[in-house]
Structure 1
Amino acid sequence: VGAPVGEEPVSGLVRAFVTNGRQGINYHRGVWHHPVLTIEKRDDFLVVDRSGTGNNCDEHFFKEEERLVLAPHQ
């Protein structure tokens, strides 16, 4: 689940992607994204992150009225 780069994520621009389970994903710097999700009861992930000083995580909490419901793409 991700949204374009910006000061804050825009709820109308959030998109979810489904992979085949054998794909990797690489986010560009500044892209808003949710931690990795799974629809399976149990799954394994390998996360490679950057090292170094500085803030590596900005959190954003949507307001209750901004609840996101992701509909399947037709």
Structure 2
Amino acid sequence: MTREIRCQQLSPAAFAPFGDVLDCAGTPDRLINAGLCERFHDRARLDFGVDGRAGISLFNAMPRSLPCELALLERHPEGSQAFIPMTENPFLIIVAPDVSGKPGTPQAFLTAPHQGVNFHKGTWHGVLTPLEAPGIFAVIDRIGKTVNLEEVLLDPPYRVLP
């Protein structure tokens, strides 16, 4: 038996329990560079733990299409993780609340152009899922000596619908 979830548009309010929406919505906090650049200041709560540091990696993920199967969720218990697309193409974001150390019922979001996300530390989420090629992202997350990844296989899986 396959379970189903439907995608919703990504919004800061709907995504708040899981992390931060990264975009240039609203009024900029200030103008910089002699008035030639709008700064949207401090848009994410980054957390790299006591023994970690910030790292920037580049990912090139294979695109998928909807509907798709969701069979795996992961989380990073020691640090936040931000996905910042390097194209204007939308991508799929899946998150789930924590229920006694396991993922609860997932929610699916679709980004608008020029949106990224920051998952708060310990947030269950799906893997990086671009919907068009190229699936190139800058990923800002914790670099450290301890393992910062937990994975859970979902049985039965979910079918993610547009």
| TM-score, length-scaled by structure 2 | 0.38
Measure the CA separation in 1 of the matches of 2:145 and 2:98: 21
Report the alpha carbon displacement of residue 61 of structure 1 after superposing the two structures with TM: 0.7
Aligned residue pairs, count: 68
Q: Which runs of 5+ in 1 are unaligned?
A: none
Q: Which protein is bigger by CA-based radius of gyration? A: 2
Summarize deviations over 1:29-53 as a string: whole Å, max 9, x none: 1111112101113221111111223
Higher strand share: 2
Identity %: 32
Aligned CA-pair RMSD:
1.6
In 2, Cα distance between the equivalents of 1:19 and 1:40?
12
Using the size of structure 1 for normalisation, the TM-score is 0.76
How far the C-alpha of 1:5 sits from its partner, in A, is 2.5
Between the aligned partners of 2:125 and 2:138, the Cα distance in structure 1 is 16
Report if the CA contact (8 A) 1:15-1:70 is conserved. Answer: no
Q: Which has the higher helix share?
A: 1
Aligned match of 2:144? 52
Choose which of 90, 96, 103 in structure 2 pairs with 1:9: 103
Structure 2: stretches of 5+ with no match in the other structure: 1-93
